[in-house]
Structure 1
Amino acid sequence: FGSSNFAHSFSLDTVTAMDPKACIDILCKAAFEHGNMCEGGCCSPAWGLELEDTASQDVAEHRVTDGVPPPPPPPILGQIIQIEDGSNVTWNGMSEEDLLNTFSALRCLELSEETHSSAAAVVSSVLQLQERRVAVHRAFDGAFQRLLSKGATIVNQMYPVVIARATPNFKLISERIRAGAEEVQRQAQSHESGSLVEEAAALINSIQVKEKDRLSIMSALHLEQFQQKIAPSRDGPAKVAELRKCAECSAQEIEETVSELRYSLADLQDLD
């Protein structure tokens, strides 16, 4: 975008290991956040209106909330996932490299530094980044569903690898898009059509907030599916169905906002 601080690199070298229990704790935190977020129903008109604007926060930052116990996992046997060389470890015929070959959007994302002179160019770049984020979402969910189909134990063993792969990609994309919003907002101060530029910045920030909500919903869905795998309940299928509906609503809301941003881009390009 506009300056060198938009460039960012992330390496998994800083992550040496993850306890599978930590993976479940992450899911529980997400489920707790999602429960607070949509007590009235995530597809209701008031959903999300009282949420704090979290566009300035990392989209993938989750911390375990005290008092939210994890579901009873299957035996872990002290298994620790070694992220540095996880691709050499195989469970039930599946390795990290197998997952990455199938869900390539989970591979470490590298984005080159970009410099744009106009608000339209920044918005165009943001839209491209959003497409990358959608791909990561699909890979994140697809990898979990693949693991779940092979049983709860392999979820405990390999889902932390999926999280460790998806998180830096979500983080990098979120940082770049947030920086883009800041650059567009800065240009609005001196642009002759400042209101149009400000509208674009507002749409980008709206996408950021909705994407954070979407990630919480997806994690809550994963947790509920995992719980049903290890301890099926009578109302479990209904809960899964409701969360799927929430996820679909969230994705639709994001796509509608992205469409508005595309129209905004067309207006900005007409001004150039």
Structure 2
Amino acid sequence: MRTLSRTAALDPLLDLLAEAERLRGAPLGVHAPLVAADPGDWSSPADLTPGLVTSLSDEIAAGYGAPRHVGASFLWKSYAYWTAYPIALGWALNRRVPLFTWDNAVFRVGDPRVSVAIRAPRAALVAGDAHADGPGTVAVPSGRALAGVIRREILEGHFTPLIKVINAATRAGERNLWGTVAEAFAHPLLSLAPLILDGDGRREAEELLSLLALDHLVEFAPEFRRRTCCLYVTVPDAKVCATCCVRR
């Protein structure tokens, strides 16, 4: 098995992920070393064809006694959450963002439902960072520019084509799927704030979602809540998610 090198810029994030996993008491959907030792054992985003999306959505939906589009929503919720998780934490921790780009991201389906990793240890960070000239790093001039990298490479280059495929294959609504993305970036900052931030994480979450142009999909006052629904509320006997707009 081939082992890929690590970039030192991501070491603090790896330590944070390990602590988050310890607190959770269960494996994260983020591959523990972050970098896949053998990417050949994983699938790429391009492998999420309409046929595979339909098959996976039907399998998930059957477990809940739900329609296909609900299964698709749950599939995307897991994929988007675990992909956004290390990006959001890297942003808040030290403005070093692992690059889960279309050509560098990989995933596999199992338990957790979706696990994610990257092929090579690549990170975007702000110029002036001690690791700005290190291997595998891309330096940008400011935090705003770093958010621009996330928006361009992750939202537009990675998530948008997958949301289009999921919508076309299952009719899961695009706005709902983007609402899931907004929560995926905010939730890690709000839930793990004591580990990395002063305060409750709300300021960082609001800033990041605003820079990513996702802030219209959520609200923060009086508490964090989505303006869309992941459709879990439609499952028989399910409890309403704490952040769901239906709780109104």
Q: Which has the higher helix share?
A: 1
TM-score by length of 1: 0.33
Quick check: which has more Rg, 1 or 2?
A: 1
